[in-house]
Structure 1
Amino acid sequence: MAVEIAADIRRGNIIEHTDGQLYVVLKAESFRPGKGTPTTTIEMRRISDGIKVVNTFKTSDKLEKAFVEEVEFSYLYQEGENYIFMNTASYEQVTVPGAMVGDSAVYLQENMNVTLQMFNGEPVSITLPQRITAEIVETEPVVKGQTASGSYKPAKLDNGVRIMVPAHIDAGTRVVVNTEDGSYLERAKD
């Protein structure tokens, strides 16, 4: 186990909390007031049962960061509530519970390379690519008189996710989407 101060903890880190359980960090935000003690609020999910907790630490508090191995896997298919991934080096298949994938599941695409954090040979967390390319299947028509620079309109992607896109984007256009917050980044260049 490596010891890190709370201010250095980032999303996706695996930490061992004071109760001896492993937690995956979902969000970490530091707050530095003008007066008083700077704090870091960490939202995390317990790996064993999926329960989310939010704790606030002084930024200088020490936390135990678990040693996890990051392994490249390729997404194969969904089987019920679980997702099946294949190790790109050894071709070994791993089943990941849907609760671990969470809201990111909508961005999974066949043969997509993801990083699984493994602890004692078991997957404990998943990291998707930061950007994916998807096609717009449905969007509202451009309203006459709308300026092209500042206005956005709702659109539906081929994976069912709804995002906001610039007014000039039409159905059938391939776009790049940020998997962390579901925001439109740019028109795909392919």
Structure 2
Amino acid sequence: MQGGAPFEVLETSHSHIGRGGSSTTARIRNCVTGQVLSRTFKQADTFEEADIEKKPIMFLYSHRGEYVFSEAGDRAKRFQLDAGVLGDKTKWLKPNTEVTAVFLEDKIISIILPIKIDLKVTEAPPGLRGDTVQGGTKPVTLETGAVISAPLFINQDDVVRVNTETGEYVERATKA
């Protein structure tokens, strides 16, 4: 919490400037408005932790910018979240994926994805002969529409494991 509003830390970088002390620059997202800011904090800065609750939920499907979820144990209890709440996490959501919802005052403010997720490659250009000297990569499109950089040996219909925090290829899960 900063200034009475809850924030989610998206990324941080630490810098030390000689005798001046250290500072941390953070990209933070206001959980209420969705606004993303960049702020620099000194070592002496303190924060109040928001009173949040986490519960498992199941992603079911998306339709016209609305993402439909259900409680993990009861698919009849459905609710919708818009893309503004989910941010760029939507590119890793595939149907029947269990995620963790972050609640603040009984309202979902964010979701936490599994760190690694398996997705099917829907489009992969052929790796050209002779491109393997430097262990090259190529852009591939996944079933969710996300585009990642993958090794040349990845083909269409392969299932790849992706790190959802960095958006990077991890390994081939199954070969087509």
Work out whether the TM-score is over 0.5.
yes
**Number of residues paired by the alignment?**
174
Aligned-residue Cα RMSD (Å) equals: 2.0
Aligned match of 1:74 in 41, 55, 58?
Answer: 58
CA distance in 2, matches of 1:90, 1:148: 51
Which runs of no fewer than 5 residues in structure 1 stay unpaired? 1-15
Q: Deviations over 1:133-161 (max 9, x none)?
A: 11222222222222266211121222222
Q: CA deviation at 1:33?
A: 3.1
In 1, the alpha carbon distance for the partners of 2:115 and 2:130 equals 34
Determine the structure 2 residue equivalent to 1:186. Answer: 171
Q: Structure 2: where are the runs of 5+ without partners? A: none
Per the alignment, do residues 137 and 50 of structure 1 end up closer, same or farther by CA in structure 2, a change over 3 Å counting? same
- Of stretches 132-141 and 91-100 in structure 1, the one that deviates more from structure 2 is 91-100
Matched, 1:134 2:139: no
Partner SS state of residue 106, structure 1:
helix
1:55 counterpart SS class: strand
Letter in 1 for 2:171: E
- Identical pairs, percent: 30
What's 1:13 paired with? none
* Distance (Å, rounded) in 2 between the aligned partners of 1:148 and 1:93: 51
What's the offset of the Cα at 1:57?
0.7
Match of 1:173 in 2: 158
- 2:33 corresponds to which letter in structure 1? D
- What are the Cα deviations for residues 18-45 of structure 1, in whole angstroms up to 9, with x where unaligned? 2x12222222222223432111112112
